[in-house]
Structure 1
Amino acid sequence: MAVATETPNPYIAHHLAAHIAEAGAWQELADAPQVLDHLEPRAVAAEALRLGYGRTRLPGPVTATLVARDLLASVAPKDRETVRALTMARFVGAVPADGTRRADATWTVRWTRLRRDLLPAVLTDRASPVEALRAFSLPDGRQLLAVGTHDGRVRLWDSESVLDADMSPVGELAYDRPVHTLETVARPGGEILLAVGVDRTVHLWDPVARSTVGSSVLDTGAACEGHALLAPAWKAVRLPDGRSLIAVCDTHNVRLWDPFTGEPVGPELVGPESLTVAQAISEGSQSLDGVLAPVTLPDGRALLVAGGTSRVLDSIDGSTDFMYGRLWAWDITTGELVWKLHTGYSGTLTALTTVPLRDGRQALATAGGGGVVRLFDPEGPTQVGEWLHGNGADVVGASTVRLRHDRTALVTVGGDRTVRAWDPLTGTPVGAPMSAHNSGVRALTSLHIADGRAFVAGGGEDGTVQLWDPESVGHIDDPLAGPVHQLVSMPVRPGAIRQSRPLLASVNADNTLHLWEASSGLPMAQPLEVSAGRPVTVPIPDGRTLLALGDGKCPIRLWDPESHRGVRTKRSRNPLRRLHLIDYPTAVATVPWRDGRTAVVVRNGPSLSLWDPASGRDLGSLRISMGLNPLDAGTISLPGGRTMLFTSSQEGIKLWDPTTGARIAEWNRKLDNRTTIIPVTWPDAHPLLAVTEEEVTHLVDPFSEDAPGGGRVRATLAVGFQPPTSHPDHPLLPGRHRLALAGCLTREGRPVVATGGHDGALRLWEPETGELVHALPVGAPINALLATDNLLVIGSRDGLIALES
């Protein structure tokens, strides 16, 4: 394949991929990255999805283009190889060799330690979260995929066209309320799609005629208002006589409704009885959680099973003391309660679905706390098969997918944003874990193509519908990869076993510290658990460099990475700290001290003091007050080797001489309580302070006296905090919404400032003008940046990335 030396004409850019797909020449395209760089990424991805995904094993660069098509389309051709390399490291597990890298690329990938994911193919992208998915068959055998979103829309795709280039829906419905449930019911002539909204209105749509056939309002009463009508609380149920009804539950009962008339049908299914407050305190209480599943027994009887919770209440204040999951099963025809079952889960039941077994029977798959799934025979009820362990977090949803060769897999969604497929009887995984593209999965279904391919479809809160091939080749995950929140470099110590080469230390979201060789990303020691807080490097007189760790919840510990053991602990005799009523001191930074010693700057509430790590004693009576409403503290190094302390509060920033405690300079400016201060230094250059507020970052010269209140803003960068989120799938972790920044970089011989944040974009800025020099998407939120030698190391949500400029 000829190498493209300049931008090709529009026809080649948009249509060459179609010819490559028809010829099956994916490997030839992957072997010519200069050609791939100049093709329209979305066109390549569309053809790979249409004719390759789930059918043949695509080469790594083509797979990366399929996953990162939007990121690739947003950057210049010379940066696309870097974006593909990062995507390959995440989804394929390999970084391209040096010989395939472009000579004119702004960045090249030196190494990565990233969490591995299974390839998702993104079907559609809308701003409104996906609330419901449903795949169903037409009379001619084709399948449609219905997508219900929070903005009240239901869109339908033909299963054959979802993998086509245009990806246009074959129909769309618009309502004025969010659609939280999609179900199908049978009637003469074919199935009807039901779209249920939060106002208890059931919309009926004929997928064959592509038209609305009516709607009904279920008079479920006050008990089912508001939050009780979540998606799992509505379920389509087919009676033995062929009729289709809708089951709706409140906290104690379930009613069956005719969706065409809006009238109740049959007897009420009575669950746990209502109790008085006194009875609940003395005996405990029971309630339904809103997870429903219809199941057919071998004798033809139809049961409806509901999940619920037993609560034992504290007799003093009435608060919940203990909860465990239960199941209730009724005969749909008679309304009789057939059995009750204690599932063994602590907490509520979060998912309930049916799984077909090999002998034709149906089993109930239940999920609750602890990420464990259990199967029960509804005729017994007795446990079936093995418990399914291995979910990374509590299971929040479950469904089934029919695989090739008449096999069925159980698919679970974890609170860690990971989708997994299992053999329901053996409990063994099918394929590799499937991680959501950008956000948690709210809805699941399975989708089948006429050529035999089967996919898991997941709807995300970011508005995307993602498709996974659950039988893709599995991979070995990197056990050391994971979210990184703090990074620090360690100076080289000649002659030491581990510190003869540059090292860096990272602290993960689970407060585990890892030590890495900076040039290769190889682990240099066993992970150190329970290492919360920002690590601070501490050189001591014997030549070693220690790490000071502590987040205020425990005493400061000094850890020796060479011997992999603790050296010293800064303890406190204050009983309030031992009882965790007040915080312990934390290590902020280090400063040179007399006699060549190094002192650790310790923050204790609103004041700073110095501590000698060699002797374990406080140095003198020096105390520096951070003022009212303190924010942050650190050090800044001047070109002559002098080190200053800086403190920040809502009243501004102050600089101090650490040996005398004298105030050197100040910048009087009102700061927000989320403002962060990060020193920006270059070799032999005047240092600056990066003051990050809600929307911008100011580069401040704190020693300038030519501005009112002291200090001068040298430049303003158009980047700041990202809005915090409190959604369960996105917990607000320390530093999550704060800007990561590194300053010791050069580009074309001039210094630049590097920033990164929640949007996953690495940006380079001109520090004199604030001009944006370059931007590169890395595919995951950036939590930390560290410049060391000729590398820029990125700590992201998915692990570590080392880029070389």
Structure 2
Amino acid sequence: MTDDRMPPRFTGHTHARHDTTPVLEVDGIPVTVSVDAAATLWVCDLLSGTCTQRPLELDAAGPEDEWYYEVGEWDEADDEYDEHDEDGLRPRWQLDEWEIASELTAAYLGDRPVVVTGGGRFDLAGPDLETMGGAVRVWDLHTGRKIGKTLTGHGLGVTALTTVPTRDGLLVVSSSEEGALRAWDVTRGKRVAGIQASYNGGMGAGHVAGRPVAVTGGHDDFVQVWDLNSGELLGRSLTGIKPVVRALAAVEIAGRTVVAAGGDENALHLWDLETAEPLGAPLTGHTDRIRTLGTARVADRAIAVTGSNDGTSRVWDLARGEQLGAPLPGHLEMVTELAGAPVAVTHALDAGIRVWDLARAVG
């Protein structure tokens, strides 16, 4: 049963092959953004239910770095590469449309709505490379054209992907199977952080004391917080949670940084980053693993929303350490803002995408 203080505002659907389907406000209209198995971008209007589709610009999806290519040119007569022709280069990889959007998010690059994709393990696999995945790409939401360079640096697939707006521009942050955490300033086209974090990494990102940070966990029994400007660990590793850690966030409450994490224990853990001590007992209620987590500030209260494999999402008051209202039906996709108001986006097979007004949870 849903809490009658939190009725859905919109409904819709998705064409995703990735784990989450972001919602973005474009020209005042809330839309879902997804990429299907054929690398086609779908944008669906949540008010009218109409969808538009446009292919991603796959001809530009390859990396620009020289080592991804080798000497050779295509010989049309023999239908193969001539490795003795030194006048041309041939790619060492083959693009896999299915793998190009293993993870996906959406954001604004300046005033431009964009889609960010993170590739799977075989994103750029080829006959000369057994695996070479994890490429990150930024695409124009309106045209499907790639913006800037293909961002490389992961050997295996991207497992978590998000964006962080800063005063200097937009940061794209990704974590991968091998535990590599990467952050790129896509406004200026450069990498700002390369960090070795938890294997098969879960990751969340945001701001602490005005600094962009990432919170990481995975197949380890601890959680860590990283300064993305310096690449340094903030405080100590936070312990007391069992693997696998899948969903993470950091928020400021009454002048202190609170780190939240959930995973296969079905519970939400909270720590004070400065002391590295847990804040009370873990918050329980889910009956299966927590896979997604989002935070928001509503009526000057820090709240979190968790999504679980039990088919529900739950809203928590982080300062009080208590659940707000009854569980929401559907799995949490993301927490964002629409029309200036914080909302939770959930997805259920029988109800599609639903958007919930979080202000009603605390009102």
TM-score normalised by structure 2 residue count: 0.65
How far apart are 1:560 and its partner, in Å? 0.6
Please, which of 784, 787, 791 is the counterpart of residue 333 of structure 2?
Answer: 784
Larger radius of gyration: 1
**1:760 maps to 2:311:** yes
Alpha-carbon contact 2:345-2:355 (below 8 Å) kept: yes
Change (3 A) 1:717 1:782: same
How far apart are 1:533 and its partner, in Å? 2.6
Q: Partners in 2 of 1:790 and 1:668 — Cα distance? A: 28
How far apart are 1:561 and its partner, in Å? 0.7
Unaligned runs of 5+ in 1: 1-74, 83-104, 115-479, 493-497, 723-736
- Corresponding residue for 1:106? 5
- Corresponding residue for 2:85? none
- Corresponding residue for 1:625? 196
SS in structure 2 of the partner of residue 526 of structure 1: strand
Alpha-carbon displacement from aligned partner over 1:430-482 (angstroms, at most 9, x marks no partner) = xxxxxxxxxxxxxxxxxxxxxxxxxxxxxxxxxxxxxxxxxxxxxxxxxx578
How far apart are 1:539 and its partner, in Å? 4.3
Unaligned runs of 5+ in 2: 57-97, 124-134
Alpha-carbon contact 1:689-1:700 (below 8 Å) kept: yes
1:60-79 alignment runs, 5 A limit: 75=1
**1:598 maps to 2:165:** no
Q: Partners in 1 of 2:159 and 2:326 — Cα distance? A: 35
How far apart are 1:534 and its partner, in Å? 2.7
TM-score normalised by structure 1 residue count: 0.32
Q: Partners in 2 of 1:713 and 1:547 — Cα distance? A: 36
- Corresponding residue for 1:690? 260
**1:713 maps to 2:279:** yes
SS in structure 2 of the partner of residue 678 of structure 1: strand
Which one-letter code corresponds to 1:613 in the other structure?
Answer: V
Question: Greater relative contact order (Cα 8 A, min sep 6): structure 1 or 2?
Answer: 2
Which one-letter code corresponds to 1:635 in the other structure?
Answer: A
- Corresponding residue for 1:38? none
Q: Partners in 1 of 2:260 and 2:38 — Cα distance? A: 28
**1:609 maps to 2:182:** yes
**1:550 maps to 2:118:** yes
Which one-letter code corresponds to 1:802 in the other structure?
Answer: V
Which one-letter code corresponds to 1:771 in the other structure?
Answer: E
Please, which of 141, 158, 169 is the counterpart of residue 561 of structure 1?
Answer: 141
Q: Partners in 2 of 1:517 and 1:633 — Cα distance? A: 29
1:414-425 alignment runs, 5 A limit: none
1:448-487 alignment runs, 5 A limit: 485-487=19-21
1:191-202 alignment runs, 5 A limit: none
1:663-674 alignment runs, 5 A limit: 663-669=233-239, 671-674=241-244
- Corresponding residue for 1:319? none
**1:505 maps to 2:33:** yes
Alpha-carbon displacement from aligned partner over 1:608-661 (angstroms, at most 9, x marks no partner) = 333343465444xx532216x4532332312x4322122225141222222222
Q: Partners in 1 of 2:179 and 2:273 — Cα distance? A: 23
Alpha-carbon contact 1:738-1:783 (below 8 Å) kept: no
Please, which of 212, 228, 247 is the counterpart of residue 643 of structure 1?
Answer: 212
Q: Partners in 2 of 1:641 and 1:545 — Cα distance? A: 24
Number of aligned residue pairs: give it. Answer: 298
Alpha-carbon contact 2:54-2:144 (below 8 Å) kept: no
How far apart are 1:672 and its partner, in Å? 3.7
More strand by percentage = 2
**1:526 maps to 2:53:** yes
Which one-letter code corresponds to 1:791 in the other structure?
Answer: V
1:788-799 alignment runs, 5 A limit: 788=337, 789-798=341-350, 799=352
Change (3 A) 1:545 1:711: farther
Alpha-carbon contact 1:784-1:794 (below 8 Å) kept: yes
Calculate percent identity across the aligned residue pairs: 18
Alpha-carbon contact 1:483-1:796 (below 8 Å) kept: no
How far apart are 1:718 and its partner, in Å? 0.8
SS in structure 1 of the partner of residue 333 of structure 2: strand
1:229-628 alignment runs, 5 A limit: 485-490=19-24, 498-506=26-34, 513-517=41-45, 520=47, 522-523=49-50, 525-526=52-53, 530=98, 532-537=101-106, 539-540=108-109, 543-552=111-120, 553-554=122-123, 555-570=135-150, 583=156, 588-591=161-164, 596-603=168-175, 605-614=178-187, 616-619=189-192, 622-626=193-197
Please, which of 293, 296, 305 is the counterpart of residue 741 of structure 1?
Answer: 293
- Corresponding residue for 1:803? 356
